[in-house]
């Protein structure tokens, strides 16, 4: 389905997102905030209404295990899922709902592609009436994409408590669009769910309250743990004919790399490297568009450019790869968990634990260094360690925190 078609569609069983009527009489939240001690009440015995927002591919792996746990306990939780529609191609969104068995979203906002301001504005105006109608007790926002920030802002403006899953990550590089999203989302979040030690330090340095920080672990790794048997059985078709353990898996999509001249150099380097090791490159739509715009092509049967692949196929590829070259955030973590050598084509990472404990090496934003990969692999000695609490139980800890959180209640008297 095209972006334009989705922008105007409502799927069966979904709410009408941006078209949801605003309930004029809906009681506003009390003006209290989650971290204001005098405003809190003891844990409630009523069902907790949790509204989660997803919009892009990586959001889905992060929310899937939380959604599954909440939906398994209908006596305790009501879960509402909103998809902003920032990613809309089948292989960037719907395929993960099927593979990870995520329940269809209740609301689809049809935000689509556009400038940062357009995406954020469309998400906020689409989400506001949904929030007013649903009146959730808490809103969960995973990750660091435009949908994450927009949803956090919309909820925060309505004084609805916000829980940020993957809080505290910092690249300290404001040219990276996600860095602004991370900083601002954390600034308005009441529950800060972290999965690495430096996240706590970053948040405390920025003035977050210790009480708001919850070291739950990595929900993206929960998904990997849950899917491991199916990944082990997978026979990744995009590597057909390549020996398992011999090939390089590549993903590149950061604007700093793909929206400029460095992409052509990276493609040329990968073509040369394929003489040493076969290359499988599932291409992100941003990258595909840039390659087409600049007439970039690869040649040779040892380098294979394919469309983005599903989760099982992709993790099947990664777990059988000799190494991975990426600029993705999530893939730095998944390779660390799987102890597959990872080379990150960026100057920095918001996930330093993947370098200090894990299998990740920062190559820099320097495509010429792709040529060093075979030697680096030959010299590689140290095995990766899995960071604490990347154990498949992070979503349980998120749900425990939600159960025990002292959330402010609606105060209709103030309406
Ligand atoms: C977004 C996130 C980035 C995240 C990445 C995960 C922001 C600022 N960026 O980047 O942090 O790492 O998702 O993949 O939120 N497109 C399609 N089909 C789709 C989606 C996108 O063709 O389903 C194309 C469009 O040409 C679009 C471009 O990809 O303009 C970029 O999409 P966008 O969502 O703006 O950013 P990403 O690069 O995907
Ligand atoms: N992924 C996938 N298919 C692909 C490329 C990535 O299923 O073709 C998965 C990957 O395993 C990880 C997530 O998508 O779970 C990462 O998404 P992405 O790299 O787009 O975003 P980032 O993590 O950089 O924000």
Predicted structure pTM score? 0.90
Of 123, 124, 93, residue with least CA distance to 110: 123
How far, in Å, from the CA of 413 to the mean position of ligand 1? 43
Q: Which of 20-34, 199-213, 259-273, 280-294 has the lowest mean pLDDT?
A: 20-34
Please report, rounded to a whole number, the percentage of residues in the chain having pLDDT higher than 90. Answer: 84
- State the pLDDT at residue 92: 98
Question: Residue 258 burial by CB count (10 A; 0-12/13-18/19+): exposed, middle or buried?
Answer: buried
CA 87 – ligand 1 centroid, Å: 6
Residue 27 pLDDT > 60:
no
Pocket of ligand 2 (CB under 6 A): 57-58, 61, 251, 282, 308-311, 314-315, 328-331, 334
> What's the rounded Cα separation, in Å, for the pair 381 and 391?
24
To test the ligand 1 pocket, which listed residue (62, 119, 285) has its Cβ within 8 A of the most ligand atoms? Answer: 285
- pLDDT (tens digit, 9 = 90+) per residue, 233-263? 999 999 999 999 999 999 999 999 999 999 9
Main-chain phi, psi angles of 82, to 5 degrees: -115, 130
**CA pair distance 154, 114, nearest whole angstrom:** 19
Per-residue pLDDT tens digits for 331-368: 999 999 999 999 999 999 999 999 999 999 999 999 99
Ligand 1 atom closest to Cα of 330? 12
Alpha-carbon distance 63 to 88, whole Å?
17
Give the pLDDT of residue 409: 65
What is the distance between the alpha carbons of residues 163 and 141, in angstroms, rounded to a whole number?
6
Range with lowest mean pLDDT among 42-51, 65-74, 156-165, 192-201? 42-51
Question: Is pLDDT at 5 greater than 90 in this prediction?
Answer: no
Asked if residue 321 lies in contact with residue 248, where contact means CB atoms within 8 angstroms, the answer is yes
pLDDT at 45: 62
- Residue 299's pLDDT is 82
* Residue whose CA lies nearest to ligand 1 atom number 9: 145
C-alpha 131 chain-centroid distance: 22
Which residues fall within 8 angstroms of residue 257, CB to CB, at 6 or more apart? 263, 266, 327, 345, 346, 365, 367
What does the pLDDT average to over 30-57?
66
Do 55 and 86 touch, CB atoms closer than 8 A?
A: yes
Q: Quick one: CA dihedral 362, 363, 365, 367, positive or negative?
A: negative
Report the atom number in ligand 2 closest to the C-alpha of 251.
Answer: 5
Ligand 1 environment, Cβ below 6 A: 56-58, 86-89, 92, 113, 144-146, 177-178, 253, 284-286, 289
Please check the confidence at residue 94 and state whether its pLDDT lies above 60: yes
- Ligand 2 centroid, distance to 331 Cα (angstroms): 6
C-alpha–C-alpha distance, residues 304 and 214, integer Å: 42
Amino acid 17: pLDDT: 32
- Residues known to be catalytic: 253
Among protein residues, the one whose CA lies closest to atom 9 of ligand 2: 311
Residue 127 pLDDT greater than 90, yes or no: yes
pLDDT recorded at residue 383: 80
């Amino acid at each position: 389905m095209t972006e334009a078609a989705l922008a105007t569609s409502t799927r069966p069983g979904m709410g009408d997102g941006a078209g949801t009527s605003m309930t004029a009489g809906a009681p506003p939240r009390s003006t209290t905030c989650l971290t204001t001690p005098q405003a809190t009440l003891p844990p409630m015995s009523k069902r907790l209404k949790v509204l989660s927002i997803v919009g892009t591919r990586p959001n889905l792996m992060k929310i899937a295990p939380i959604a599954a746990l909440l939906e398994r306990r209908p006596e305790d939780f009501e879960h509402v899922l909103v998809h902003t529609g920032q990613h809309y191609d089948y292989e960037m969104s719907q395929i993960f709902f099927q593979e990870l068995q995520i329940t269809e979203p209740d609301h689809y906002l049809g935000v689509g592609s556009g400038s940062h301001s357009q995406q954020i504005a469309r998400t906020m105006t689409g989400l506001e009436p949904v929030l007013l109608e649903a009146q959730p007790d808490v809103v969960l926002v995973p990750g660091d994409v435009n949908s994450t920030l927009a949803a956090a802002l919309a909820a925060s403006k309505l004084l609805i408590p916000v829980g940020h899953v993957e809080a505290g990550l910092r690249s300290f590089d404001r040219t990276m669009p996600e860095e602004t999203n991370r900083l601002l989302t954390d600034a308005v979040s009441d529950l800060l769910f972290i999965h690495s030690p430096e996240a706590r330090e970053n948040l405390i340095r920025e003035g977050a309250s210790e009480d708001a920080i919850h070291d739950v672990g990595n929900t993206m790794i929960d998904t990997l743990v849950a899917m491991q048997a199916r990944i082990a059985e997978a026979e990744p078709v995009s590597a057909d004919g390549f020996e398992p353990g011999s090939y390089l898996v590549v993903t590149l999509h950061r604007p700093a790399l793909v929206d400029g001249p460095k992409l052509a150099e990276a493609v040329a380097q990968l073509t040369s490297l394929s003489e040493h090791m076969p290359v499988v490159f599932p291409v992100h739509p941003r990258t595909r568009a840039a390659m087409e715009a600049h007439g970039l092509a690869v040649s040779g049967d040892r380098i294979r450019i394919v469309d983005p692949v599903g989760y099982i196929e992709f993790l099947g590829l990664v777990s059988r790869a000799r190494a991975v070259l990426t600029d993705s955030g999530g893939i730095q973590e998944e390779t660390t968990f799987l102890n597959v050598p990872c080379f990150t084509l960026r100057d920095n990472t918001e996930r330093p634990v993947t370098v200090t404990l894990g299998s990740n090496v920062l190559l820099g934003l320097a495509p010429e260094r792709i040529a060093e990969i075979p030697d680096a692999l030959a010299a590689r000695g140290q095995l990766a360690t899995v960071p604490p609490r990347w154990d498949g139980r992070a979503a349980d800890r998120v749900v425990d925190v939600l159960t025990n959180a002292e959330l402010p209640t609606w105060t209709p008297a103030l309406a």
